[in-house]
């Protein structure tokens, strides 16, 4: 969590805490004793839904917030008088829902863009406002970089990290015809995947056949689940790199399990938005995917990363198999 000394600082922190620059969004920042805690984002198109304020208030309070700041981000509507009225109404509904739950809407502001020179002001014409310094050098962004989190220019840029690489996927897919199903030796499959992770960490470029072999083993959920424990090992950064690569090049249903590994790791690291992007990609192809549904429910209900880490507590470490 990061100490916040002014409203402008809260707006500047959004890049660091979300991992991308929000646009046309409502971002609700939960504060615990003056420090940023849980942060939630909705597209502005969804922020006016009848149950949006209730859901946001629920999540904020479950996340331990005693106060909330609502930030409306809109390059199109920041200076629109009619839109300001809509923002005030949405803020009022959020304030009422928070009050019912023993919390408080401390402030509501609108900003045109979350970047250096962005202009913000309170939505109720209170006269408070300012110009943003560069969010990329804020304390929140610095803490995120130190923690190994990547900053993205937009949510679309974040989504591109898990988008299908059509050209390479076309090369990998034929290698996987008839592959998959239960593996004969779970431990051997896990060891092979860990060896590949370590090679990636050493800078190796894996061949298409190697990627196909690892991907085929992931649909055996015994293998996938043990590999989830790599999030707690020194190999975690290289594993994340491999899971994202597999998500880009594997066909379904193998791609879904690579996305689950990437999403679980992101969730445990505290990168909820990236976890959400991975889960969204799984559910787009397979709405009934069990682990995706579990992670999505946890994410939507504000379950903290340390609780999600408990999913692998009873599993053997992948590096010790």
DSSP percent split of the chain into helix, strand, coil, nearest 5: 55, 15, 30
Reported as a single tens digit per residue, the pLDDT across 267-294 is: 999 899 999 999 999 999 999 999 999 9
Q: Is 313 exposed, middle or buried (0-12, 13-18, 19+ CB in 10 A)?
A: exposed
Domain boundary, last residue among 153, 176, 209? 153
How does pLDDT run across 125-171, given as a tens digit for each residue?
777 788 999 988 888 877 877 677 788 888 999 999 999 999 999 99
pTM for this predicted structure: 0.84
Domain-terminating residue out of 112, 128, 153:
153
pLDDT of residue 288: 96
**Which of 190, 189, 202, 262 shows the shortest CA–CA distance to 231?**
262
Mean pLDDT over residues 299-312, rounded?
Answer: 89
- pLDDT digit string (tens) for 78-129? 666 666 788 999 999 999 999 999 999 999 999 999 999 999 988 887 777 8
89 and 188 both lie in a single domain: no
Residue 1 lies in a domain: no
Across 46-60, 118-132, 202-216, which has the greatest mean pLDDT?
Answer: 202-216
My answer on whether 136 and 171 are in the same domain is no
Residue 185 and residue 278 in one domain: yes
* Count of domains observed in the chain: 2
CA 49, distance to chain mean position in Å, is 22
Give 9's pLDDT tier (boundaries 50, 70, 90). confident
Final residue in a domain of this structure, among 95, 122, 153: 153
Task: Check pLDDT > 60 for residue 3.
Answer: no
19 and 145 co-located in one domain: yes
Q: Are residues 146 and 171 in the same domain?
A: no
Residue 169 belongs to domain spanning: 161-320
């Amino acid at each position: 969590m990061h100490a916040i000394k002014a409203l402008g600082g809260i707006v500047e922190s959004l890049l660091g805490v979300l991992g991308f620059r929000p646009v046309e969004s409502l971002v609700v920042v939960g504060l615990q004793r003056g420090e940023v805690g849980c942060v939630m984002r909705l597209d502005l198109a969804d922020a006016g839904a009848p149950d949006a304020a209730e859901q946001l208030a629920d999540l904020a309070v479950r996340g331990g917030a005693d106060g909330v700041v609502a930030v409306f981000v809109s390059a199109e509507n920041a200076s629109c008088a009619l839109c300001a009225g809509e923002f005030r109404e949405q803020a009022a509904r959020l304030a009422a829902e928070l009050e019912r739950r023993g919390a408080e809407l401390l402030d509501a502001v609108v900003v045109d863009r979350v970047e250096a020179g962005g202009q913000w002001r309170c939505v109720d014409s209170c006269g408070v406002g300012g110009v943003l310094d560069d969010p990329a050098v804020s304390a929140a962004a610095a803490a995120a970089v130190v923690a190994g989190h990547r900053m993205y220019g937009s949510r679309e840029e974040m989504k591109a990290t898990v988008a299908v690489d059509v050209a390479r996927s076309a090369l990998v897919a034929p290698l996987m015809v008839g592959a998959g199903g239960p593996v004969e030796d779970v431990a051997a499959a896990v060891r092979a995947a860990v060896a590949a992770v370590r090679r990636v960490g050493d800078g190796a470029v894996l061949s298409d056949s190697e990627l196909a072999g690892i991907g085929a083993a992931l649909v055996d959920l015994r293998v996938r689940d043990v590999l989830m424990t790599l999030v707690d090992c020194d190999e975690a950064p290289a594993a994340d790199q491999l899971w994202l690569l597999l998500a880009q090049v594997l066909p379904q249903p193998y791609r879904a399990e690579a996305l689950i590994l990437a999403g679980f790791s992101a969730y445990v690291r505290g990168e909820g938005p990236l976890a959400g992007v991975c889960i969204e990609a799984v559910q787009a192809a397979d709405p009934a995917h069990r682990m995706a549904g579990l992670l999505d429910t946890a994410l939507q209900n504000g379950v903290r990363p340390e609780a999600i880490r408990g999913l692998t507590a009873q599993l053997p470490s992948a590096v010790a198999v």
